[in-house]
Amino acid sequence: MNIHKKKTFLLPFVLLGFSTLSQAQQSPVAAGGDTKGTNGTVSYSIGQLVDDTYSDGNNTVTQGVQQPYEVSNPLPLQLLSFTASLQGNQALLTWKTTHEQNVHHFEVEKKASASNNFTFLASLPAKGGNGNELYNYNDNLVTEGVTYYRLKEVDNNGLGKYSQLVLVNLRSAIATTLKVYPNPVVTQMTINFNAAENKTYQLQLVDALGRTVINKTASCQAGNNTINWNVAQLAAGTYTLKAVGIAPIKIIKNN
The predicted pLDDT at position 189 comes to 94
Of 197, 148, 151, 196, the residue nearest 168 (C-alpha)? 148
54-113: pLDDT as tens digits: 566 666 655 555 444 444 445 567 899 999 998 877 899 999 999 898 899 999 999 998
How does DSSP classify residue 4?
H
Do 84 and 157 reside in the same domain of the chain? yes
CB atoms within 10 A of CB 234: 18
Per-residue confidence band for 27, with pLDDT thresholds at 50, 70 and 90? very low
Answer whether residue 13 shows pLDDT above 70.
no
Do 162 and 183 reside in the same domain of the chain? no
The predicted pLDDT at position 240 comes to 92
Do 148 and 217 reside in the same domain of the chain? no
Examine residue 134 and state whether it is found in any structural domain, yes or no. yes
CB atoms within 10 A of CB 21: 16
User: Which domain, by its residues, includes 221?
Assistant: 179-253
Do 107 and 147 reside in the same domain of the chain? yes
Examine residue 69 and state whether it is found in any structural domain, yes or no. no
Do 40 and 88 reside in the same domain of the chain? no
Task: Give yes or no for a contact between 167 and 86, defined as CB atoms under 8 angstroms apart.
Answer: no
Domain closes at, from 138, 170, 202: 170
Task: Give yes or no for a contact between 196 and 222, defined as CB atoms under 8 angstroms apart.
Answer: yes
Please state the domain count of the chain: 3
The predicted pLDDT at position 231 comes to 92
Residue 121 is part of a domain; what is its CATH number? 2.60.40.10
Do 149 and 110 reside in the same domain of the chain? yes
Do 83 and 56 reside in the same domain of the chain? no
Do 32 and 108 reside in the same domain of the chain? no
Examine residue 209 and state whether it is found in any structural domain, yes or no. yes
Do 94 and 162 reside in the same domain of the chain? yes
Do 119 and 148 reside in the same domain of the chain? yes
Compute φ and ψ for 177, nearest 5 degrees: -85, 20
pTM greater than 0.85: no
Do 200 and 225 reside in the same domain of the chain? yes
Do 47 and 120 reside in the same domain of the chain? no
